[in-house]
Structure 1
Amino acid sequence: MAQLSQIVPILRIFDETKAKTFYLDFLGFSLDWEHRFEPEMPLYMQISKDGVLIHLSEHHGDCSPGAAIRVNMNGVRELQKELIGKKYAYARPGLQKTPWNAEECTVTDPFGNRLIFCEYLA
């Protein structure tokens, strides 16, 4: 019997150094692996944090920049405080209460992709 397991979003990136600074240093993801068909070819890599997987790709055919993904989580206030404390030069994410009874912390990567960290309130 077929069974779905997990969704892994692919986000478009254009600069390896900026991507690693944002996703690894600022957001705290870990680099799982990298792949290039040849040394000067575009990068494709997987990052993860707390069981969430994201693929980042420099390949133009994989996806379009400007995507948005939602990450449901617990502790969004703590995450927002942690991110603000890092004093990352290009993002100072806030915290927003939504009409659907959630708190969200939205960050935009250097390539226009939005990550919305969301905690639903009881």
Structure 2
Amino acid sequence: MFKMMENVFKNLASKPATRMYPFEKREPFKDSRGQIEGIEIDKCIFCGICQRKCPANAIVVNKAEKSWEINQFKCVICNACVEACPKKCIVASAEHKTAATKKENYKAVQPPKEVESDNSKVTA
């Protein structure tokens, strides 16, 4: 009985073993896998290696449209696409996904490159 009371008083006087979660958030560990944030579309060459390496088939690369799309709900956060990308343009973060109310895919489309026109040459 005395041993139990000693343990009770010790626990009352010590700091809690857990965090006050919504107010105190723990930083993710170094090199932990969180979620795919997106892609630096200007660096992407649309080779499709990330699409072929994805075990969940969550990535769709369209070279003709110059678009890159990921279904975040299919993604298993293995980071195989990040490691396989030759241009290292896929951006991953250590933060985990938050709850979502809609299933929306992340889609990035490369804007068409502007062609410089030479207006100084005017033909009559």
TM-score, normalized by the shorter chain, greater than 0.5: no
Say which structure is richer in strand: 1
Give the TM-score taking structure 1 as reference length.
0.28
- Bigger Cα Rg: 2
Higher normalized contact order (CA 8 Å, seq sep 6+, divided by chain length): 2
